[in-house]
Structure formats: C-alpha cells, structure tokens
C-alpha cells in the first residue's frame, strides 16, 4: 500500500486535463497527485493514517491562479482607509476625519480605492478639502488605479517635490492644489512607499495572501517594484517568497535587465506602463476620448526606447511582460516584440501583454503570429463594461463594444491568463470566471469551461508551470479548490454566487469552511 497523505472523494472533480475528464476522487502523496479516478477504488488508500475529505457532491477544481496581482500594494491597502464606496467628497471627508480621531498625530493616513468617476463631483479632492479633515496628519488619497493622487498641505510640505515637476495641478494663484497626476503622482508615491518599513509590508502581504487563499488561489503572479510602485516591494517578495503558504511568481517591474539577471530572476516587467488607464484618460488611443475632445492619451516610451529594452531582455532569455491598455500602446508593444523576434528568433518565449483591453482585429492577428500570451482581467467588464459605465463614457458606444474581446482572442488560438489586477479589483477568480462567461458584449462571452481555464491551466502556462500546475493530473502538484456548486452546471448568471469552501496547496489544507 502506498503512503497517501490525503484523499478527496465523492465529488465532481473537473480535472482540466486535455480531455476535460470529470473524476470522482483524487489521492495526494508528498504534495503531488498520485492517483485519481471514478468509482470506489479510492477506498484502497484509506487507512487510519490518511486524511480524507468527503466532498459530499461538491466540486473540485485545480487551485486558482491569479496572473496579475500587485501583492504588496494589495496588502498595504488592507491596512489603509477604504474609499471605494464613497459617493461624494463630503462622504470621503467624514471617513478621513473619523480615521484621524484614532490615529496618532503625525502618522500618515492613506486612503485607497477612490474612484472619481463614482463621486458626484467627478474629480479628486484638493488639498484644501483634505485639510478640512485633519490638521495633525499627512493625508494621501490614491485613485483606484494609482495614476492620480491627492495630498493635504501637511503631506505636501513634508515631501520634497520639485516645483516645476510635470503633473502638479495648480490653483488660480499657481500654487499646487494637492492633486497630482502621472509623473508627480508617481514621484510622491515613491517617497511615501520608501518610508514604509518592511514589517508593515509583511503584515499587509500575509493579510492579502490569507484573503486570496479564501478565494481559492494557490498561485499568483506578483507584479512588483517600478516607478509607480517601489522597488522595495519587489525586494520584499524576493526576500520572503519561500515563507509564503502559496506560490508567488515575481515579475520585477523594471527595465534594468542587468539587475534582474544579477538576482537570478527569469522574468522582467509587469506594469511597465506603456500608457495609463481609461479612468485617468491617459491610456493611449488612436482616436480621441469621447468625453475629452482632443485627448488621445499618452505613450510613456518612444518606440526606439521600447525596442531597445524588449530586444535586450529577449536576448537575455527573460520572459517579458508590459502594461498596454489602449490600442496605440498595444500597437507599440506588438511592434517592439516584432522587432525583437525578427532580430533574434526564439521559440516558446511566452512573452506577455498585460491588459490588452481594446485591440483591433489586426492586433490580434499580429499577436497570433508572435505567439504572445495575453494576461487579461475579465472583471473589468463587470465593473466598467455595461452601458453608461466607464468604458462607455470614455470610449463611446462603438469602442465600448470592442473592449476585452475574450472569445475572439481565444478563437484565434491565443492563450489568455486571467487575473484581477488587485488591488484595482479584488482577488476573486470566481468573479473573473463569471464575467468572462457573462460578458456585457455577448459576442465575446466564453463558456464556463473556458472561463475556468483562464484561472487554472492558462495561468500556469503563462509562467511556464503548466507541466506541474493548472490541472488535476498524476504527477502535478496537489493544488485544489473546493466549490459548493459546479460552475459547469449552475445557471451561468449564478456563477458569481458560487462559494469557495476549501483551498489545498500541495496536499496541505490551507482553508476549509
């Protein structure tokens, strides 16, 4: 009799193997899938020393993979003031004022998740409005996707900001009014994040990982460091990843190839921003924004600069990914990948593009020719994809009907890895699957099985781990998630209501409700 550590039986086991087999039981030994099948042969493995879970008809999937997470920032946000639900600046002021009452004088108050498109004033707060909340604390408010922020007068005075730095919004007296965009926002962000001790990072990261585990995540891609975040975040992941209870694969957000090679890493990039976001109206478009005439967004690199970085990283055998949201940025990164692969052909590179939100048909064809992996965030459509939502306002109805064309991309043969972009949206693979299946643009909706693959085998493929993860097959890691209902059988409109009731990493039970 083989020494088995864990047996799960009496359930619907969606294996996600190449035949899409459904089994009834699985046995795990030394962290790996040892055996699986139908019927009652699992009983041969049951002894008094073997842990066993009767699934009682519940569903078992491979552990979820969230391919795009800013893990340190997600953790820090859990220690910050949540402003994601405020509907007005006055409501925000009340929340910050209450926080100040319980915060030692001089300690930073950080507000996160603020969405100016959802408050009645339709803008970020000024320093004067933040000054009204407290005179004893520096206050820093971040827009939901970090391209814009606001600080109060105390924070502004503490920070060493060059007066002529691009991105400082000024009042009628030409004085900074506390609102900062692009370079100015990133500049002060770097200063503030550098001042945060790693013990705070650790507290936040473990809290974020705990939440991810409760959502069924056993592996995630951590996009850390760089201009918008801070290199201390990436260094923290490098120093601590062996102690995490789930797998964390780092993309170091830098264009410094030598630094990445010196650290023994095999991936580079992440949110290396080629453009901004639709919320901030600086995602780079070929046509102007529908609600901001004359504005087509911004590219942050020249084609020559980008070509140089991509070729250098590619020649050094690194896997590359960058942030490209608008069609102009997508065109730019495809051109850079074409340049690199024309000059230095390389098979199975699995270079990626993060977001890829509004590609043209030609962009998809070019990506197919290059064999690019696309790391996309289906839940964006849940929050921003309906009529009257963000995509509609920024892009107009015709372009809104072209965003995140999941089915078109999969039908072309490309691989999509699903992610959350946490902390922009929450780590919540079930919601990602739900939205992919119930896409607001119905012609882009995919099947529940395809939706599951985005967050399992495709996520593993996107980091060269599909040989050891992403499906329930003999020899692969025993990374599993237990669901209360079968996403292949429930009404598709109810997928989002499915609950995670257990998460298992390499045979170890991390969570069981």
pLDDT at residue 248 above 90?
yes
Comparing 156-165, 277-286, 456-465, the range with the smallest average pLDDT is 156-165
The pLDDT assigned to 228 comes to 67
High-pLDDT (> 70) share of the chain, %: 99
The contacts found for 32-41 with CB under 8 angstroms, 24 or more apart, are: 32/475, 32/476, 32/477, 32/478, 32/506, 32/507, 33/472, 33/473, 33/474, 33/475, 33/476, 33/477, 33/478, 34/2, 34/4, 34/474, 35/474, 36/472, 36/473, 36/474
Question: Domain for residue 415, yes or no?
Answer: yes
pLDDT digits (tens, 9 = 90+) for 453-462: 999 999 999 9
Strands 109-114, 81-82: parallel, antiparallel or unpaired by DSSP?
parallel
User: pTM higher than 0.75, yes or no?
Assistant: yes
pLDDT at residue 508 above 60?
yes
**Same domain flag for 296 and 380:** yes
pLDDT digits (tens, 9 = 90+) for 174-223: 999 999 998 899 888 888 888 889 999 999 999 999 999 999 999 999 99
Question: Domain for residue 279, yes or no?
Answer: yes
How many domains does the structure of the chain reveal?
2
The pLDDT assigned to 45 comes to 95
Q: How far is it, in rounded angstroms, from Cα 325 to Cα 304?
A: 19
**Same domain flag for 189 and 275:** no
Calculate the average pLDDT of the chain: 96
Last residue of a domain, one of 144, 169, 194: 194
Question: Domain for residue 200, yes or no?
Answer: no
pLDDT at residue 229 above 90?
no
Range of the domain at 135: 81-194
- Copy the structure tokens of residue 121: 């004033």
pLDDT digits (tens, 9 = 90+) for 95-104: 999 999 999 9
**Same domain flag for 152 and 266:** no
Question: Domain for residue 479, yes or no?
Answer: no
pLDDT digits (tens, 9 = 90+) for 123-134: 999 999 999 999
Q: What is the CATH number of the domain that holds 124?
A: 3.10.310.70
**Same domain flag for 90 and 188:** yes
- Copy the structure tokens of residue 214: 């409760």
Question: Domain for residue 507, yes or no?
Answer: no
**Same domain flag for 428 and 327:** yes
Q: What is the CATH number of the domain that holds 311?
A: 3.20.20.140
Last residue of a domain, one of 451, 468, 485: 468
**Same domain flag for 261 and 133:** no
Spell out where 99-216 has E strands.
109-114, 139-143, 148-151, 168-170, 176-181
Question: Domain for residue 401, yes or no?
Answer: yes
Max CA distance (Å), the chain: 82
The pLDDT assigned to 416 comes to 99
Question: Domain for residue 168, yes or no?
Answer: yes
pLDDT at residue 440 above 70?
yes
**Same domain flag for 179 and 310:** no
The pLDDT assigned to 195 comes to 86
pLDDT at residue 1 above 60?
no
Banded pLDDT at 106 (limits 50, 70, 90): very high
């Amino acid at each position: 009799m083989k020494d088995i550590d864990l047996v799960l039986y009496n359930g619907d086991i969606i294996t996600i193997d190449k035949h899409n087999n459904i089994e009834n039981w699985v046995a795990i030994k030394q962290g790996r899938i040892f055996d699986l099948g139908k019927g009652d042969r699992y009983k041969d493995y049951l002894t008094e020393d073997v842990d066993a879970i009767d699934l009682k008809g519940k569903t078992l999937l491979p552990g979820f993979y969230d391919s795009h997470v800013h893990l340190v920032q997600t953790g820090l946000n859990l220690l910050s003031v949540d402003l994601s639900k405020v509907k007005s600046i006055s409501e925000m002021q009340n929340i910050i004022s209450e926080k100040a009452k319980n915060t030692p004088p001089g300690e930073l108050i950080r507000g996160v998740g603020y969405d100016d498109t959802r408050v009645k004033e339709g803008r970020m707060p000024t320093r004067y409005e933040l000054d009204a909340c407290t005179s004893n604390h520096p206050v820093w408010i971040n827009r939901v996707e970090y391209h814009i922020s606001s600080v109060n007068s105390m924070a502004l005075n503490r920070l060493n900001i060059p007066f002529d730095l691009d991105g400082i919004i000024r009042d009628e007296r030409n004085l900074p009014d506390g609102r900062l965009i692009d370079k100015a926002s990133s500049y002060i962000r770097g200063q503030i994040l550098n001042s945060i001790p790693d013990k705070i990072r650790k507290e936040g990261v473990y809290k974020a990982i705990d939440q991810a585990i409760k959502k069924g995540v056993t592996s995630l891609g951590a996009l850390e460091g760089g201009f918008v975040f801070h290199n201390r975040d990436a260094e923290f992941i490098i120093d601590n990843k062996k102690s995490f209870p789930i797998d964390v694969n780092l993309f170091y957000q830098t264009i410094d190839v030598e630094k990445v090679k010196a650290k023994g890493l095999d991936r580079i990039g992440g949110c290396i921003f080629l453009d901004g976001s639709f919320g901030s109206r600086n995602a780079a478009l070929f046509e102007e924004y529908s609600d901001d005439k004359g504005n087509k967004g911004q590219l942050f690199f020249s084609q020559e600069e980008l070509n140089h970085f991509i070729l250098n990283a590619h020649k050094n055998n690194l896997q590359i990914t960058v942030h490209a949201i608008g069609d102009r940025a997508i065109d730019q990164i495809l051109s850079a990948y074409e340049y690199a692969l024309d000059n230095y052909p390389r098979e199975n590179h699995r270079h990626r593009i993060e977001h890829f939100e509004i590609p043209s048909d030609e962009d998809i064809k070019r990506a197919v020719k290059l064999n690019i992996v696309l790391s996309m965030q289906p839940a964006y459509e849940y929050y921003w994809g309906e009529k009257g939502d963000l995509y509609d306002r920024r892009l107009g109805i015709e372009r809104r009907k072209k965003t995140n064309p999941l089915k078109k991309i999969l039908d072309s043969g490309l691989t999509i890895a699903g992610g959350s972009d946490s902390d922009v949206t929450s780590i919540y693979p079930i919601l990602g699957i739900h939205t992919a299946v119930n896409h607001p643009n119905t012609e882009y909706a995919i099947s529940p099985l395809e939706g599951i693959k985005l967050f399992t085998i495709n996520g593993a493929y996107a980091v060269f781990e599909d040989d050891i993860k992403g499906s329930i097959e003999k020899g692969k890691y025993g990374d599993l998630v237990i669901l209360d209902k079968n996403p292949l059988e429930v009404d598709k409109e109810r997928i989002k209501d499915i609950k995670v009731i257990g998460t298992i990493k390499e045979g170890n039970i991390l969570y069981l409700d």
